[in-house]
């Protein structure tokens, strides 16, 4: 039965792609800024993707997320959601995203997020894509976004 056992193992790996793997460091710490739980959602080539993550400022000075870039997107913007009558609309977060001293800001569906515009390749569930964040004080931080299912509301796993 070795073939069947291998098939079952392959199936288990396919169903839980990260679980059997050792924990990898996809978070980043740069200066007083800690970036954790970077994740994204499956999206098609030439479409639009989103990046979500948690930023903690352990310092005593305010910082600000100014911009982001990614090899997988032609353009990357920082977005927020604003109420427009009955609906919430996305809008570019002009001026960046402030990270107060001692504060934690979570980029998540329905709030602040990183918009990946013009995807050069599809974001496949189970893969990970690079994202570079540029902070006013701390400088640049590199993270890997774990790509979850298309409609995911949160990160697929915890570290
Ligand atoms: Cu957006």
137 alpha carbon – ligand 1 mean position (Å): 24
2 alpha carbon – ligand 1 mean position (Å): 48
Q: Answer for the pair 112, 93: CB distance below 8 angstroms, yes or no.
A: yes
Residue that the structure tokens 């790509």 belong to: 147
| Integer CA distances (angstroms), 81 to 33, 74, 98, in order | 24, 22, 15
pLDDT tens column, 4-60: 555 555 555 555 544 444 444 589 999 999 999 999 999 999 999 999 999 999 999
The answer to whether domain 23-148 has CATH 2.60.40.1890 is yes
Q: Could you tell me the pTM of the whole model?
A: 0.81
pLDDT tens column, 60-111: 999 999 999 999 999 999 999 999 999 989 999 999 999 999 999 999 999 9
37 alpha carbon – ligand 1 mean position (Å): 19
76 alpha carbon – ligand 1 mean position (Å): 10
CA distance 50 to 111: 11
């Amino acid at each position: 039965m070795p073939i069947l056992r291998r098939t079952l193992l392959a199936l288990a790996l396919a169903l839980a792609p990260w679980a059997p793997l050792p924990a990898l460091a996809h978070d980043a710490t740069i200066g007083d800024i800690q970036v954790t739980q970077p994740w994204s959602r499956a999206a098609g080539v030439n479409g639009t993707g989103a990046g979500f993550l948690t930023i903690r400022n352990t310092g005593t000075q305010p910082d600000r997320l100014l911009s982001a870039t990614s090899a997988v997107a032609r353009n990357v913007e920082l977005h927020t959601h604003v109420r427009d009558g009955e609906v919430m609309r996305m809008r570019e977060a002009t001026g960046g995203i402030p990270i107060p001293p001692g504060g934690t800001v979570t980029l998540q569906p329905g709030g602040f997020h990183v918009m990946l515009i013009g995807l050069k390749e599809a974001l496949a569930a189970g893969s990970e894509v690079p994202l570079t964040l540029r902070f006013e004080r701390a400088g640049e931080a590199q993270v890997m976004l774990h790509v979850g299912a298309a409609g995911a509301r949160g990160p697929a796993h915890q570290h």
